[in-house]
Structure 1
Amino acid sequence: MRIAFLADPLDGFKTYKDSTFAMMREAAARGHTVLAFEQRDMRVLDGRVLADMRVINLTGDAHDWYRAEPATTLGLPEVDAIVMRKDPPFDSEYLYATHLLEAAERQGAKVFNKPRALRDNNEKLAILRFPQFIAPTLVSSRDDDIRAFLAEHGDVVLKPLDGMGGTGIFRLRPDDPNLGAILETQTRNGTVSLMVQRYLPAIKDGDKRVLLIGGKPVDWCLARIPKAGETRGNLAAGGTGVARPLTARDREIGEALGPLLAAEGLLLVGLDVIGDTLTEVNVTSPTCFQEITAQSGIPVAGLFMDALEAAIQA
């Protein structure tokens, strides 16, 4: 099969931990042809969705890890699958990319995760679909709403709706001397909505990434432990990843959400769970494949490729 990855520039990959690289390596090991392109390589001409794609040959070298053949312009339906692995932010160009990918689907392309499902499931707001699993939550741009919620719960976490890797997240208490400035800045004077959630002390034991592949939870998760003095467990914010077997609650959440999300075209999902509480539903470019595999022995990339091959042939 020919499997094309829509990704960020390959030269920026950290191959020792990159999940997209793990997918590519597994695809190549199975004899599939691996191609890559970026958002800017897509266009529509005479009604056809095209992209300049390069065949990627893996070298096995950890640093100089690939050789790219000259770019070839292909219609997206000419490959067997498009794997959408562009990292956030979910900005206007990302949005436009999902529209082009959806147009390509109408022409016969198979895209994973499905473009419409990417648009419909904001990684913060998607938890609102599953109120039985979440902490007390407010979404608002209003200063008075946020202050009232903070006064009620006493200790909260404030998140931008378009962030990733822990960027822009604040833990707030009512006596914070910078409260007014933080709210003004983060809401841009009441014009940008934020998510505010009751602080979960269980974060000290890790922000767990539970992977769903083909609607089923992987048996181990990655608990991202905050570094000293930090409330964010994200690896990008300095957290340490520790693989653990799923708890009964992790599995309950995964088995409840998995079939619903898979039916919408989400082949791969990364749930964030703190303690017993669902905090995010990551759909754009879920990670942690290599960390879970290295510590548990579970071949996560292999599980993903099994699901992808089955979806292509369905």
Structure 2
Amino acid sequence: MGNSILFITDPFDSLKQEKDTSIFIMKEALRRDFEVFQCEMSDLTLKQRLSSQCTQIINNNDSLETAKKNEIDLTSFSFCFMRKDPPVDQDYMNCLHLLNVASQDGANIINNPNAIKIFNEKIFAMEFIDLMPPTIISADSTKIEEFLRIHEEIVIKPLNGMGGDNIHKVSTNDPKSLGKVIDLTEDSKTQIIGQKFLPKINEGDFRVLVINGEPFEYCLARIPKDGSFLGNLAQGGKGVAKKITSNQKEIGEKVGARLKSENILFAGIDIIDDKLTEINITSPTCAVEIFDQTGENPITKIFDSL
């Protein structure tokens, strides 16, 4: 095959054409004269080599459409983008194992499947504990309650979630707080993450894109809607593109050096009140919103780095 890229994503019809970052990357690939193909994790088959029953993607008046299906060896593609959204469940892990085999056979997988397999997005950030707000990861509801008493107001969330799902703010003034902790830990059986609540979330949960180890010059401040503490766009947050600050740049560079060492080309880090909260390496988003508001395209940096 000539220049070609495979995207492993959620079902193609579920991707929102107007704002999905995977769609945005596909359009840039087509603009650069790559052939573009898409598949789901279940379309992968390993015999002697890993292949995909994939669908060719074409651009019809700036709307992407599916065309013919092909069974193609992953080593035949110039690049393969793993862009499946979390949760990183057993099916996801099995897919990463398969992609790692393909990588050893010479396939160029973005991001490095072994890195995605090793690094949980919320636990990974703990490598930079000095850049984070006070944080605890535990299944022990008693220890989380002690953490709450110290900080008075905290946010608790599952380790494998995304998009703001199942995130709760609990406080010492709320009699239901312990019940929320017990429920989320499944009665002290499941580890969760708790972080000191940062009131400056009302100024934005800043998504900084890190490409080939370097923070992009613009970020997206995701500002919670009235009455909410969640900035996630999927939870009704408003995205406002801004130039990154010197502190955000410094955090991005520190994290970026580590990402680059693990062959993680494209990541998104989340910063609230100049504190790192998460490192997203599965399927970072917000590129479309940044481009729409600034005219600066983060995705060109990805292709320039290939």
Residue deviations 1:139-195 (CA, integer Å, cap 9, x gap): 111111011000001010101100000011111101212123212210111110010
Aligned to 2:194: 196
Q: Indicate which of 43, 61, 65 corresponds to 1:41.
A: 43
Q: Distance in 2 between matches of 1:179 and 1:246?
A: 35
Equivalent pair of 1:221/1:292 in contact (CA under 8 Å)? yes
**Equivalents in 2 of 1:254, 1:128: separation in Å?**
15
Q: Which deviates further from its counterpart, 116-125 or 202-211?
A: 116-125
Aligned length: 304
Provide Cα deviations, 1:45-99, integer angstroms capped at 9, x if missing partner: 2x3211111211111254xx31321x21121111111100101111110000000
Structure of higher RCO (CA pairs closer than 8 Å, 6+ residues apart) = 1
Q: Aligned with 1:124: secondary structure?
A: helix
The residue number in structure 1 matching 2:144 is 146
What SS does the aligned partner of 1:165 have?
coil
Q: Which residue of 2 aligns with 1:22?
A: 24
Q: Of 107, 111, 114, which residue of structure 1 is paired with 2:112?
A: 114
Write the distance in 2 (CA, Å) between the matches of 1:212 and 1:224: 17
Within 5 Å, give how 1:126-275 maps onto structure 2.
126-275=124-273
Kept in 1: contact 2:75–2:102 (CA 8 A) = yes
Q: Check conservation: 1:23, 1:305, Cα contact below 8 A.
A: no
Aligned 8 A contact 1:59 1:67 in 2: no
Q: Separation in 2 of the partners of 1:191 and 1:60?
A: 51
Q: Deviations over 1:263-287 (max 9, x none)?
A: 2010001000001100000000000
Amino acid aligned to 1:172: V
CA contact (8 A) 2:164 2:232 kept: yes
> Aligned partner of 1:120: which letter?
I
In the other structure, the counterpart of 1:53 is: 54
Q: Give, as a single letter, the amino acid of the residue that structure 2 aligns with 1:48.
A: R
1:82 counterpart SS class: strand
**Alignment-derived partner of residue 123 in structure 2:** 125
Helix, strand or coil: the match of 1:130? helix
Q: Structure 1: which amino acid aligns with 2:28? A: E
| Amino acid aligned to 2:88 | F
Alignment of structure 1 residues 283-302 onto 2, 5 Å: 283-302=281-300
RMSD: 1.0
The alpha carbon displacement at 1:247 in A equals 0.6
Counterpart CA distance in 1 for 2:58 and 2:295 is: 26
Distance 1:200 1:72 in 2: 49
Deviations 1:99-118 (A, max 9, x none): 00000011111100000111
Question: 1:262: Cα distance to partner?
Answer: 1.2
Q: Which amino acid aligns with 1:42?
A: L
Q: Aligned partners of 1:233 and 1:82: how far apart in 2?
A: 30
Shift in Å at residue 16 of structure 1? 1.0
- Residues 145, 178 of structure 2: 8 Å contact kept: no
Tell me the distance in 2 between the aligned counterparts of 1:17 and 1:144: 41
SS class of match (2:301): helix
In structure 1, C-alpha distance between the alignment counterparts of 2:67 and 2:238, rounded to whole Å = 33
Return the letter of the residue paired with 1:18.
D
Among all aligned residue pairs of Structure 1 and Structure 2, give the percentage whose two residues are the same amino acid: 38
Aligned to 1:231, what secondary structure does the other structure show? coil
For structure 1, the 5+ residue unaligned runs are: none
Q: Confirm or deny: 8 A CA contact 2:55 2:66 kept in the other structure.
A: no
Q: Pick from 92, 95, 115: which aligns with 1:94?
A: 92
Moved over 2 A (4+): none
SS in 1 for 2:30: helix
Contact 2:135 2:193 in 1 (8 A): yes
* SS of corresponding position for 2:279: strand
Q: TM-score, normalised by structure 2?
A: 0.97
